[in-house]
């Protein structure tokens, strides 16, 4: 499976001592968007200081106007509040969805925890309807665990 092949590559990115955290995060975004066919937009959002909002971090894909997302708004904002993975097989069926592009059909958001606190998330949009499986969730949890190691 593609995810097993990607894990060592994610580990290698995380361990690069000459790269900044943002450079490593961008490299992870590029890797995932490039190697997983149904990942069409890959980015990180992080808690914006003491505010109840998320701020866009490194990402690859179409530019987005959603640089700041209030907690509770959209899929990312809901994950900031719930602390749970959120898999959306059909974004058009979600009442509280913030549309980034008309081509997006599905979304998956996985929180990043540092010392038990939800400090951010990885957000992935797909132009393919209902593409995300439990394997996507487990792999992205792995990615978030590795990212948490360099954020703390």
pLDDT tens for 90-147 read: 988 876 666 667 788 999 999 999 999 999 999 999 999 999 999 999 999 999 999 9
CB-based contacts of 125: which residues, under 8 Å, 6+ apart? 40, 41, 61, 100, 101, 104, 106, 107
Q: What is the pLDDT of residue 65?
A: 87
State the pTM of this model.
0.95
Q: Is 129 in contact with 106 (CB distance < 8 Å)?
A: yes
DSSP letter, residue 31: H
Q: What is the pLDDT of residue 96?
A: 66
Confidence of residue 57 (pLDDT cuts 50, 70, 90): very high
Sorted by where each begins, the domain ranges of the chain are 2-151
What's the CATH architecture for 2-151?
Answer: 2-Layer Sandwich (3.30)
What is the distance of C-alpha 82 from the center of its chain? 15
């Amino acid at each position: 499976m593609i995810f097993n092949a990607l894990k060592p590559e994610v580990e290698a990115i995380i361990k690069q001592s000459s790269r900044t955290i943002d450079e490593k995060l961008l490299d992870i975004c590029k890797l995932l968007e490039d190697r997983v066919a149904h990942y069409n937009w890959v980015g990180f959002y992080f808690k914006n200081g003491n505010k109840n909002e998320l701020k866009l971090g490194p990402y690859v894909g179409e530019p987005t106007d959603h640089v700041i997302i209030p907690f509770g708004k959209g899929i990312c904002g809901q994950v900031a509040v719930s602390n749970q993975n959120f898999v959306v097989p059909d974004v058009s069926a979600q009442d509280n969805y913030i549309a980034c592009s008309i081509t997006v059909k599905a979304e998956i958001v996985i929180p990043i925890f540092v010392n038990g606190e939800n400090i951010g998330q990885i957000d992935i949009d797909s132009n393919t309807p209902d593409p995300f499986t439990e394997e996507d969730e487990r792999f992205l949890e792995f990615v978030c665990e590795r990212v948490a190691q360099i954020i703390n």
